[in-house]
Amino acid sequence: MSKAVQFYNYGGPEVLKYENVEVGTPAKGKIRLKQTAIGLNFIDVYHRTGLYPQATLPSGIGLEAAGIIEEIGPGVTDLHIGDRVAYGTGPIGSYAENRIIPADKVILIPERISDNQAASMMLQGMTTEYLIRRTYCVQPGDIVLFHAAAGGVGSIAIQWLNALGATVIGTVGSQEKAEIAKAKGCHHIINYKTEDFVERVKDITNGKGVNVVYDSVGKDTFMGSLDCLKVRGTMVTFGNASGPVPAIEPLILNGKGGLYLTRPSLAHYCGTHADMLASATALFDAVSSGAIKIEVKQSYSLSDAVTAHKDLEARKTTGSTILIPE
Ligand code: NDP
């Protein structure tokens, strides 16, 4: 028997149950992991609430973790018992002490990166990689607006954007988060709870607007974000922290300057092992070069996933968060 977090109904954090589960032995192409650290991500909230529904309930939860391989199924030749590995693209069910997972979903963790760091950065770091290097390829001199700059994805993205030579405008929801965003390298910081972020962006850019907006806040910021873009700018809406973005007419994009609009997910950019490996390698290289520092800002016991979810949704967390199995 092993411990895992599951939910039987969609709802608030309290639907998460810490339970005994049977793990079994890995079938062909799979491995069994003893997990050492588990990444907490906002997408876990969408899974729990049913915004992103599951095929069946009850369901496990979580897409990211690090651990040690303790058993290997038939046909797995490139991994060994004792290897340290991590994953950040699921499958769902990472909130667990032990689990079985397809071998092609994991990546070896480089020696210089700890398990806690790996578990805290795979999903958010690979997301940053595809957003700023592939969805819109950020160039030196670009001006970028990044919402929720002191969050998990935000803290990695601000550092990486700096390394690419962009000017970064970050939004945050408190003074404490403004200090964090500044320390990560934001050139301009806007508290979007107390300031009109559209007006501030206009002031900062002398009315011209930014090349690209990365908006994971969703409903509350989407329309304002469109107004922050320069002519033919790119709007990347990649999350729903405040709720999903309502439908819009394409003509709106015309009226606001022939804008490009995209709504990407990690699955579109890291859906194959090759794409995932390339993305993770770029991330590990950026961390090794010192361009990105990975700090775990909050750590909870796996049995206390309910509190971790409450804090994440209440906007109490900054940077990355992990859950630790007992
Ligand atoms: P964060 O650590 O960034 O937490 C979310 C942050 O969003 C909060 O801290 C808060 O920061 C801000 N926020 C604004 N409005 C609200 C609200 N009403 N309720 C809660 N939070 C709010 O989370 P992650 O780093 O895990 O993820 C960031 C975003 O990126 C999420 O929306 C997530 O879904 C998305 N994402 C998308 C991916 C994709 O491929 N499409 C992959 C990974 C993440 P503040 O207080 O400063 O406003």
Tell me the best of 42, 182, 242 to mutate to test the pocket of ligand 1, counting ligand atoms within 8 Å of each CB and taking the most.
42
| Ligand 1 atom index nearest CA of 318 | 2
Helix (H) or strand (E) holding 166, with range, is none
What's the CA-to-centroid distance between 153 and ligand 1, angstroms? 8
Is residue 37 within 8 Å of 322, Cβ to Cβ? yes
User: What number of other Cβ atoms are within 10 A of residue 128's Cβ?
Assistant: 28
What separation in angstroms does the CA of 214 have from each of 8, 111, 290, 315? 33, 32, 23, 18
What's the CA-to-centroid distance between 80 and ligand 1, angstroms? 36
Is residue 66 within 8 Å of 37, Cβ to Cβ? yes
pTM over 0.90? The answer is yes
Is residue 288 within 8 Å of 111, Cβ to Cβ? no
Distance CA 31, CA 76 (A): 8
Q: What is the pLDDT along the chain (326 residues), one digit of tens a residue?
A: 899 999 999 999 999 999 999 999 999 999 999 999 999 999 999 999 999 999 999 999 999 999 999 999 999 999 999 999 999 999 999 999 999 999 999 999 999 999 999 999 999 999 999 999 999 999 999 999 999 999 999 999 999 999 999 999 999 999 999 999 999 999 999 999 999 999 999 999 999 999 999 999 999 999 999 999 999 999 999 999 999 999 999 999 999 999 999 999 999 999 999 999 999 999 999 999 999 999 999 999 999 999 999 999 999 999 999 999 98
Distance CA 105, CA 103 (A): 5
Distance CA 223, CA 246 (A): 10
Domains along the chain with CATH numbers = 2-113+294-324 (3.90.180.10), 123-266 (3.40.50.720)
Is residue 167 within 8 Å of 186, Cβ to Cβ? no
Reported ipTM exceeds the 0.85 cut: yes
